Amino acid sequence: MPFFSSAAILPASSSALNFGAHFGQQKPIVWPLKLAVPPSAVMGSPPIGQLALTGLAAVEAAAGAAATAPVALDAPDTDFAGAAAGSLLQACEPASRAAVTISMILVIARSSGTRLKTRMRSGPSRLAPGAPEHTDFGTHWAVKCAVVTSTSPDLDASIDGLCDQLAAELAGRPVDLLMAFFTPHHTDDAGTLRERLLSRLKPRVLLGGPAESVIGGADEIEGRVGLALWGAHWPGSELVPFELTVQERDDEVDLLGWPDDAPEGAGFLVLADPFTTPGDALLDGFAKRWPGAPVVGGMASGHHGSGQAVFLTNDGLHDSGCVGVAIGGSVRLDPVVSQGCRPIGKHYVITKAQQNVILALGGKPALAQLRGVFGEVETRDQQLMQTALHVGRVIDERKSAFERGDLLVRNVLGIDTKNEAIAINDFVRPGQTIQFMVRDAAAAGEDLSTLLGAEASRGPVLGAMLFSCNGRGKRFFGMPNHDIDGLHKGIGDVPTAGFFANGEIGPVGGHPFLHGFTASIALFRERKPTG
């Protein structure tokens, strides 16, 4: 096969195309606490605005938690009640907080003569021995997510205030999941950051990592010092953290440390080092162990070699491999993967291929079919085909109709004019379906808007994680905060954090893939009880 180079789709009299890699109602108020409350302690409904904490007792004698007399708190507003309840929790012995079933019964009157009873439980990723199973997530969910950011270069001077701000946003509720993203300016202080986060916020699960630029709240903090903290209080959630380490054996690279106790129906958040994590092993590992499970995350950025990344977990600091958390129980992770492209032309079936080279489409030379598409599209798309042409490959061929979310976008690497073939950066085979695509700022914005618009009808979102390619942002869209603005416009102003990644992880057609120029998003929703 001859060397691939730029070649013309247009007639000889027209300009040559430049093909290349292109990445770049009102409801009862409920405050679940880490309090074990016996059902017999249920009291009559107190007046509106009064929060009755009916007891504090340990499920496990070994927990060493002494029974506490009932406490009643006047609650003039939700924030005060949440903060006061959180103070009660912090007064408990640490062993008790970790071991007891985290449950409570709150009785709140919405109006005179109305008595509502809601039982909620929150707690660690696994119930303590002998603790009752949680079978009702409740209709009115006292869930809370929050995000805070800082652009201060002095981490030691700013981190305590930032932690206090996040705790206040969560109204004193326990932190189940804490995500921390920081720019290289803070890498040397990563140990201090981890210690302060654990001591002040005491998260069940801590995950964090480095990034060229971070995202938090309403801002994409590009080219500046940045730190974003995102915390979630998720009653009834099951969280299983893991760390995948790299093992080289017989010229093969594998990953060890896969969780063997991931919750049923779990979704996965992952942060990985691009210099030490074998992408195929990572993605295949998820696909084989949890077929169809949503995997969302990003490759760390802002560093330039092995051993330079610093990931934060409850267990320590890590400079290679992958860290993550399996999320289940009362929380569902829904992925949105915006690959930033717009389809052009029709679908074609590959009828002849060799490795990553498409030789024939629909029984005709691939280049001839591409030229046919070029002649049918508008002038703007013709221009894009010369600089930003891509191929979308259908992942699930069993579907009778294909939409943009069914296509895995890959780059066109070059054209072989002699054999009228097209090379892409992925292996292909006969029988697969593809469609040509183009990418620019308008197409990327339209793709993100379309995908998020479809999510609006699926129910309220509690919070979100956004992993955007480091080739997007201001340099691509010509404006700041494009992706975070688009996310909030599509699903509402939910607490969101993330970073600009060196490769984005997200599913297409139910399979996890590594992408470029993509916005990979994890939306968190309440998981409805089944049965």
Task: Decide: 177 and 203 in contact? Cβ < 8 Å.
Answer: yes
Q: Do 310 and 213 reside in the same domain of the chain? A: yes
Instruction: Please report, in angstroms and rounded to a whole number, the separation of the first and last CA atoms in the chain.
Output: 59
Q: Which residues are registered as beta bridge partners of 437?
A: 343, 390
Q: Where are the beta strands (DSSP E) in 322-426?
A: 322-329, 331-338, 342-343, 348-354, 357-361, 364-365, 389-394, 407-416, 421-424
95 CB-near residues (< 8 Å, 6+ apart): 63, 64, 65
Average pLDDT by stretches of 10, the chain with 531 residues: 37 31 33 33 28 28 33 34 38 35 27 27 32 32 87 95 96 96 96 97 98 97 97 97 90 90 96 94 96 97 91 96 97 96 94 97 97 95 94 83 81 93 95 95 94 91 97 95 97 97 95 95 89 53
What confidence score (pLDDT) does residue 396 get?
80
Please work out, in degrees rounded to the nearest 5, the angle formed at the alpha carbon of residue 330 by the alpha carbons of 58 and 311: 90
What's the CA gap between 56 and 93, in Å, rounded? 12
Query: What is the domain count for the chain?
Result: 3
* Encoded tokens for 473: 């942002």
204 and 242 in a single domain? The answer is yes
Domain span including residue 53: 39-121
Number of H helices, E strands in the chain: 10, 31
> How would you list the strands of the sheet with 227-233, edge to edge?
144-150, 227-233, 177-182, 205-210, 311-313, 317-318
Last residue of a domain, one of 438, 471, 496: 438
Tell me if 505 sits within 8 A of 512, measured CB to CB.
yes
Question: Same domain, yes or no, for 248 and 114?
Answer: no
Q: Which 3 state secondary structure label does DSSP give 443?
A: helix
Same-domain pairing of 164 and 108: no
Same-domain pairing of 329 and 464: yes
Both 449 and 368 in a single domain?
A: no
Q: Do 417 and 270 fall within a single domain?
A: no
Considering the domain architecture, whether residues 334 and 352 belong to the same structural domain is answered as: no
The identity of residue 238, as a single letter, is: E
Residue 439: closest CA among 390, 404, 372, 508: 390
pLDDT for the residue numbered 229? 98
Is residue 514 within 8 A of residue 337, CB to CB? The reply is: no
The Cα–Cα gap between 106 and 89 comes to 15
CA distance 116 to 127: 27
Same domain, 388 and 406: yes
Residues 6+ apart with CB under 8 A from 378: none
Do 268 and 180 lie in one domain? The reply is yes
CA-closest candidate to residue 149, choices 133, 134, 163, 131: 163
**6 found inside a domain:** no
Q: List, in order, residues 6 or more apart from 358 with CB less than 8 Å away.
A: 350, 352, 366, 391, 421, 422, 423, 424, 428, 434
pLDDT of residue 250: 75
Token digits for 116? 């509502």
Cα distance between residue 326 and residue 330, in whole Å: 12
Based on the fold, state whether residues 273 and 372 are members of the same structural domain: no
Give the pLDDT of residue 530.
Answer: 66
- CA proximity to 223, closest of 438, 475, 433, 429: 475
Q: Residue 236 domain-assigned?
A: yes
Dihedral of CA atoms 504, 505, 511, 516 in degrees, nearest 10, equals 10
Instruction: Supply the pTM of this predicted model.
Output: 0.74
Among 403, 438, 473, identify where a domain stops.
Answer: 438
Residue 27 lies in a domain: no
* Identity of residue 419: N
Nearest by Cα to 279 from 505, 511, 510, 518: 505
What Cα–Cα distance (Å) separates residue 487 from each residue in 45, 356, 478, 481, 519? 40, 34, 17, 10, 10
